[in-house]
A and B are shown apart, each in its own frame.
Chain A
Amino acid sequence: MSSPPTPPGSAAPPAPARPAAGQGRAGRTVSPAGLAAAVAVLLAVLVVSVVLAIGLGPSSVPPADTVRYLWAALTGGVIPAEEFAGYQVIWQIRTPRVLLAVAVGAGLSAVGVAVQAIVRNALADPFVLGVSSGASVGAVVVVVFGALAALGVYALSAGAFLGALAASALVYAVSRSRMGMTPLRLVLTGVAMAYGFQALMSVLIYLAPDGEATTMVLFWTMGGLGAATWGSLPVVAVVVLAGTLLLRRSARALDVMALGDETAASLGVDTSAVRRRLFVLTSLMTGAIVAVSGAIGFVGLIMPHLVRIAVGAAHARVLAIAPLVGAVFMVWADVVARTLVAPRELPLGVITALVGVPVFIVLMHRRGYLFGGR
């Protein structure tokens, strides 16, 4: 995993007097130029990762051939007949899957950053507001009752997305009060609703006539990218890209909200309004992500913290870096998931946790990171 360069002392703003460096904590602030360089480096790393990851699998393809196939596919070039099977694997199966990993990793990381700020809780992740359990219920309803059959192959994703939105709407309605949406009410409502949806899902599975529903639920609770197709990619890619850009536009408001609602009011930020707007935005993003990949855990919780350790707390930086780091991480986690015990596949959520947790613990100890308190 690459971390952006943070040269000590290079970030000093022009100042009449030189601010002295703190003990061992200097250099966490990154100048605008440093940030742009970090983003450029991470983008390059991401592109290389994508090409390598597309080549890797049960039948590995050298990067040069991968690039040639991709080029042919994009420009309508010609592929020799004996290579056509390999080309099909690369273009029809692996490319959408790796690109989906990019969208999902980036989206979960960005949403994780925003949700932690909205509910003011370091333990929050994109699923804390009940979105993923709502999506599971939606998917199971499709499987068990054959709902949304008119949508054909997209019925499941649509069901999951609608379930996610219904859950969000419910959490939103319940957590509203005269005092606006307070962070604690949001978290408590989300957690309570998640238990409710899980119970509902258990009932549905129990009543289901066959084992397919159980498999379905496993997929939605563990998450995975096995269902990636070119058809399902555009919606989630557009939602994640637009959503991340919109979230980043609220970076300073998110900074101000971290000072508490009263202080935020004195700084001209209407926390209830910001919270409402970003709640809708993050719910849409999470819903779109969960609909195609299930609830892939860990990334949305840990990636924000990892990036804050590297670049500091300011959201303008965190929301620029976290989606890129999350995308790179997800691409490689998925490579491990589908190659480690090939031809079988490990659940992606297992990999993200097994790889990420140790990395996180090491970093946390090294930099003396503080989770919003001592």
Chain B
Amino acid sequence: MRLRLDAVSVEIDGATLVEKLSLAAAEGEVVALVGPNGSGKSTALRCVYRALRPASGAVLVDGRDITALSLRDSAQQVAALTQEAGTDLDFTVEELVALGRAPHLDGNQPLSRRERELCTEAMARLDVLHLARRGVLTLSGGERQRVLIARALVQEPSVLVLDEPTNHLDIRHQVELLALLRSAGPTVLVVLHDLNLAAAACDRVVVLSRGALVAAGPPHEVLTPELIHEVFGVRTSVVPHPLTGAPQVLYSLPTAVRTESRP
């Protein structure tokens, strides 16, 4: 297994945000993490990209516990798109993307020719090459999001974690991004709110609720009307996609009666 979370628990100020969470992702697999607000998805991701230290349990990449590695060593293996989309300073797009090489370089060591080509390639893949000389603070939210994903790819990680990467993206770029994740190479752990995108793009779906794992498996096994109702508290119909067969979740706005009967 490329990435394994082994009974990871996170406590902050006495509150247990994640409790004994175990999950695994094989090489090249794309795993979606879904669940309602506050279910511990982002907290679990933070443990993987080292912004948080689990109270107990281990995060293993290729069998090694990364919490025992230096930040720099783990950053050579795990790249992240966090929810902080901002930057304080008006770097140009190409400068920001180049910062993805930071964990591979000593101090101010300049990028090699191969690394500069890597940056250009990543910008092209994310459709931001035409923005290379623009200041990142002048970009739209979606453009900036794509720049940050290019930066994560340039890190050449074996594991890529993304916290709601489709935020701010228009439909076309949402679809393109998820298609790219499928072909990107690294193992991907991604928090998604859109269950249909998760079903279409991911090999497996992991459902969290109140910090604990509720279900995990291929989308068609996990995304059932019963489970969605149990976890999210909404009534849905799940139908197979006419072309791909992937489960598609159809929502119907609750009527007054149903609103009253919500758990």
A316 within 8 A of B: yes
Cross-chain contact A374 with B137 (CB below 8 angstroms)? yes
Cross-chain contact A267 with B132 (CB below 8 angstroms)? no
User: Contact string, B122-137, partner A, CB cutoff 8 A, digits 1/0?
Assistant: 0110000111111101
Residues of B within 8 A of A20 (CB): 129-133
Cross-chain contact A267 with B89 (CB below 8 angstroms)? no
User: Contact string, B77-99, partner A, CB cutoff 8 A, digits 1/0?
Assistant: 01110111011111110111001
Mark out the residues of chain B between 135 and 192 whose CB falls within 8 Å of any chain A CB in the assembled complex: 135, 137-138, 155
Cross-chain contact A17 with B82 (CB below 8 angstroms)? no
List the A residue with the shortest CB-CB distance to B76.
A268
Minimum C-beta distance from B187 to chain A (A): 15
Q: Which of A249, A255, A269, A369 has the most CB of B within 10 A?
A: A255
Minimum C-beta distance from A116 to chain B (A): 8
User: Contact string, A87-126, partner B, CB cutoff 8 A, digits 1/0?
Assistant: 0000000000000000000000000000001001010000
Contact for A265 among B49, B73, B137, CB less than 8 A: B49
Cross-chain contact A314 with B138 (CB below 8 angstroms)? no
A47 within 8 A of B: no
| A312 in contact with B95 given A252-B102, A268-B75 (CB within 8 Å) | yes
B209 within 8 A of A: no
List the B residue with the shortest CB-CB distance to A259.
B87
Residues of A within 8 A of B105 (CB): 252
Q: Complex formed: what's the CA distance from A369 to B90 in Å?
A: 8
Cross-chain contact B49 with A22 (CB below 8 angstroms)? no
Q: Complex formed: what's the CA distance from A268 to B135 in Å?
A: 24
Cross-chain contact B88 with A256 (CB below 8 angstroms)? no
Cross-chain contact B133 with A21 (CB below 8 angstroms)? yes
B229 within 8 A of A: no
Cross-chain contact A255 with B99 (CB below 8 angstroms)? yes
Residues of B within 8 A of A261 (CB): 51
User: Contact string, A247-291, partner B, CB cutoff 8 A, digits 1/0?
Assistant: 011111101101111110111111000000000000000000000
Cross-chain contact A13 with B94 (CB below 8 angstroms)? yes
Residues of B within 8 A of A27 (CB): 133
| A372 in contact with B102 given A19-B123, A258-B88, A312-B91 (CB within 8 Å) | no
Q: Complex formed: what's the CA distance from A372 to B86 in Å?
A: 9
| A260 in contact with B95 given A22-B138, A25-B133, A373-B137 (CB within 8 Å) | no
List the A residue with the shortest CB-CB distance to B161.
A266
Q: Complex formed: what's the CA distance from A265 to B74 in Å?
A: 9
Cross-chain contact B120 with A266 (CB below 8 angstroms)? no
Q: How many residues of B contact A (CB 8 A)?
A: 52
Minimum C-beta distance from B5 to chain A (A): 16
Contact for B50 among A266, A314, A374, CB less than 8 A: A266
| A252 in contact with B107 given A258-B91, A265-B71, A266-B82 (CB within 8 Å) | yes
Residues of A within 8 A of B120 (CB): 13, 15-17, 19
A32 within 8 A of B: yes
Mark out the residues of chain B between 97 and 128 whose CB falls within 8 Å of any chain A CB in the assembled complex: 99-100, 102-103, 105, 107-108, 110, 113, 116-117, 120-121, 123-124
Cross-chain contact A22 with B135 (CB below 8 angstroms)? yes
Minimum C-beta distance from A111 to chain B (A): 17
User: Contact string, A15-47, partner B, CB cutoff 8 A, digits 1/0?
Assistant: 111011111011111001000000000000000
List the A residue with the shortest CB-CB distance to B155.
A267
Minimum C-beta distance from A34 to chain B (A): 14
Residues of B within 8 A of A21 (CB): 133
Contact for B80 among A13, A25, A266, CB less than 8 A: A266
Cross-chain contact B116 with A313 (CB below 8 angstroms)? no
Cross-chain contact B89 with A19 (CB below 8 angstroms)? no
Cross-chain contact A17 with B129 (CB below 8 angstroms)? yes
Residues of A within 8 A of B132 (CB): 19-20
Q: Complex formed: what's the CA distance from A248 to B108 in Å?
A: 9
Cross-chain contact A268 with B103 (CB below 8 angstroms)? yes
B220 within 8 A of A: no
Cross-chain contact B90 with A313 (CB below 8 angstroms)? yes
B72 within 8 A of A: yes
Mark out the residues of chain B between 6 and 49 whose CB falls within 8 Å of any chain A CB in the assembled complex: 46, 49
A79 within 8 A of B: no
| A308 in contact with B90 given A19-B123, A32-B110 (CB within 8 Å) | yes
Contact for B99 among A14, A17, A259, CB less than 8 A: A259
Cross-chain contact B95 with A29 (CB below 8 angstroms)? yes
Cross-chain contact A370 with B108 (CB below 8 angstroms)? no
User: Contact string, B196-229, partner A, CB cutoff 8 A, digits 1/0?
Assistant: 0000000000000000000000000000000000
Cross-chain contact B91 with A262 (CB below 8 angstroms)? no
Contact for B116 among A14, A23, A25, A268, CB less than 8 A: A14
Residues of A within 8 A of B123 (CB): 19
Cross-chain contact A25 with B99 (CB below 8 angstroms)? no
Cross-chain contact A266 with B51 (CB below 8 angstroms)? yes
Residues of A within 8 A of B76 (CB): 268
Contact for A19 among B91, B96, B103, B129, CB less than 8 A: B129
Contact for A249 among B92, B108, B130, B138, CB less than 8 A: B108
Not counting A13-B94, A267-B99, A313-B90, a sample of 4 additional A-B residue pairs whose C-beta atoms are within 8 angstroms of each other reads A15-B120, A120-B88, A258-B87, A313-B92
Nearest 7 pairs of A and B residues by beta carbon: A268-B75, A19-B132, A22-B134, A268-B103, A268-B72, A266-B80, A313-B89
Enumerate chain B interface residues (CB-CB to A < 8 A). Answer: 46, 49-51, 70-76, 78-80, 82-84, 86-92, 94-96, 99-100, 102-103, 105, 107-108, 110, 113, 116-117, 120-121, 123-124, 129-135, 137-138, 155
Listed by A's residue number, 22 A-B pairs whose Cβ atoms lie within 8 Å are A13-B116, A14-B113, A14-B116, A15-B116, A16-B117, A23-B134, A25-B133, A29-B92, A122-B88, A249-B108, A251-B107, A253-B102, A256-B102, A260-B82, A266-B50, A267-B75, A267-B99, A270-B71, A308-B89, A312-B90, A370-B137, A373-B88
